[in-house]
Structure 1
Amino acid sequence: MSNSNTSRMRSIFRTKTSKALDRMEDPRDMLDDSYDQQVKLLQQVRQALAEVATAKKRVDLQGQELGNRYQRLGAQAKEAISQGREDLARAALERRSLIERQVAQLQQQYAGMQAQTSQLEDRERRLSEQIAAFRIEKETIKATYTASEAQVKANEAVAGIGATIDDVGTSLDRARDRVAQMQARAAATDELLASGALKDLTAPPDADIERQLAALSAKAEVDRQIAELKGTEGGSGGRRTGGADDAGEWLSIGQGPTG
């Protein structure tokens, strides 16, 4: 592989790598990713809070059931004593004592879950406030970055337009120079043709002699008209050579002496 191809491939690789890094370093993407992570964390806290609330409800239901049995066993013990059945009353009270120990355990679990719930609720509240504040700041930063990015693009576009206009101006200047050169060349060739330095291949034979004779005839005609004007000014009844009355005689112009 030649050095030029290797250099070109390295340039392309650097360009693509730079674009990839620009995408990775885009603060808007970074802020959105951070916001999403915080939202996921909040969801996890809320899920844990719901799970603790569910477990606490189950303990509460078990406590209510044991409480109902506790009250029922107390009533049964009283009924057994009233009927002279101390043995039944004793059995009811023994079971009631066992329920008391179970209820005490449930009460400890319930209290621990209550403390955990309060802790999770406080964490959920603070995290929600933090995320809300972060979201506002995130959107503000994104809007500022987007506006700055748009300004950069606009400035780059203006710079590109300026460069294009400069190129157009350069092209116009070159075109004007070419036109001036061609006009000067055309005038020079006309003079050369007129002087005979250049031969007009499209002209008929002996055109140069005819051109010189025509010039002499034109000069002689001018001399004649000058002499006629002088003679008219010297005489008293000379004919006028122009005026409103001669306006209809334009057809005779160039047809020879008017006398």
Structure 2
Amino acid sequence: MGIFSRMTDIINSNLNALLDSAEDPEKMIRLIIQEMEDTLVEVRSSSARVIADRRQAARRLEQVREEAANWEEKARLAISKGRDDLARAALQEKRELESDVRAVEEEMAATDEHVAHLNTEIAQLQQKLSDAKAKQKALVMRTATVESRIKVKRQVNREALDDAFDRFAQFERRMDNLESQLEVMDIGRDVSPGLAAEIDALQEDERINRELERLRAEVTGGQPEHGKQDQA
């Protein structure tokens, strides 16, 4: 089913209201333009047919007028010959033709009025079509602008996100450098595990020797050997 049902619907239509209420304004404007163009073709075809009928009526009117003039000349001739009866009959034919002339003239006047009305409708429809095409162009430009802005917005957001990741990566590298510097500063300060074990072993051996001397003294009832040596 078409958007418009009559010519007056198109002429009186509010394009802004139609587009505002449409779910897809771009699709709606395309349909409106298509229907307007189709209607314009139909109206112009109708106007062409009416103009062709008027031209035919004009030719018929000229022919009837010539026939009426011929009957008047025949009446003149009959009068000049003293044949009033024939003149009267010729004038009667002329009157009938003049009646046809008035009918054709009224038909042409109605045709002229119809053509004028169609021309007005064509002009109004053409203006509506121009408005619709202008709105379509504006919609296309607005759509392109919005899509471009969205693309730029997404690009900006992406760049901001990439920048944040770059800053985080720089921070990680900075922390890695600081930790590396700290490890370098600690090199040589800690005693190696092998050296510590040897020192611990020496201390343990010393404790064992002292314990051995104590036990020997208890068993022999004497003083530890190092004590005897001290007395001597």
Shorter-normalised TM range: 0.5 to 0.7
How far is 1:65 from its partner?
1.0
- CA spacing shift, 1:154–1:29, aligned 2, 3 Å: farther
- CA spacing shift, 1:30–1:171, aligned 2, 3 Å: farther
Worse-matched range after superposition: 72-81 or 31-40: 31-40
Does residue 1:153 correspond to 2:154, yes or no?
no
Q: What amino acid is the match of 2:164? A: D
Q: Can you give the 5+ residue segments of structure 1 that lack an aligned partner in the other structure? A: 1-23, 199-259
Aligned to 1:170: 168
CA contact (8 A) 1:53 1:117 kept: yes
Question: Could you state the TM-score of these two structures normalised by the residue count of structure 1?
Answer: 0.53
Q: What amino acid is the match of 2:36? A: Q
Alignment of 1:2-151 (within 5 A): 25-86=23-84, 88-151=86-149
- CA spacing shift, 1:169–1:143, aligned 2, 3 Å: same
How far is 1:51 from its partner?
2.0
Identity %: 18
**Partners of 2:126 and 2:145 in 1: how far apart?**
29
Give SS of 1:84's match. coil
Question: Could you state the TM-score of these two structures normalised by the residue count of structure 2?
Answer: 0.58
Q: What amino acid is the match of 2:44? A: R
Aligned length: 174
How far is 1:58 from its partner?
1.0
How far is 1:52 from its partner?
1.4
**Partners of 1:43 and 1:191 in 2: how far apart?**
98
Taking only aligned residues, the RMSD between alpha carbons, in angstroms, comes to 3.4
- CA spacing shift, 1:85–1:186, aligned 2, 3 Å: farther
- CA spacing shift, 1:146–1:64, aligned 2, 3 Å: same
How far is 1:66 from its partner?
0.9
Aligned to 1:242: none
Q: What amino acid is the match of 1:153? A: K
CA contact (8 A) 2:32 2:132 kept: no
- CA spacing shift, 1:51–1:187, aligned 2, 3 Å: farther
How far is 1:71 from its partner?
0.7
**Partners of 2:181 and 2:24 in 1: how far apart?**
59
Q: What amino acid is the match of 1:76? A: K
How far is 1:160 from its partner?
1.9
Alignment deviations for residues 104-146 of structure 1 (CA, whole Å, 9 cap, x no partner): 3322321221221121122223333333444445434543443
How far is 1:180 from its partner?
5.1
CA contact (8 A) 1:27 1:142 kept: no
How far is 1:62 from its partner?
0.8
**Partners of 1:26 and 1:174 in 2: how far apart?**
50
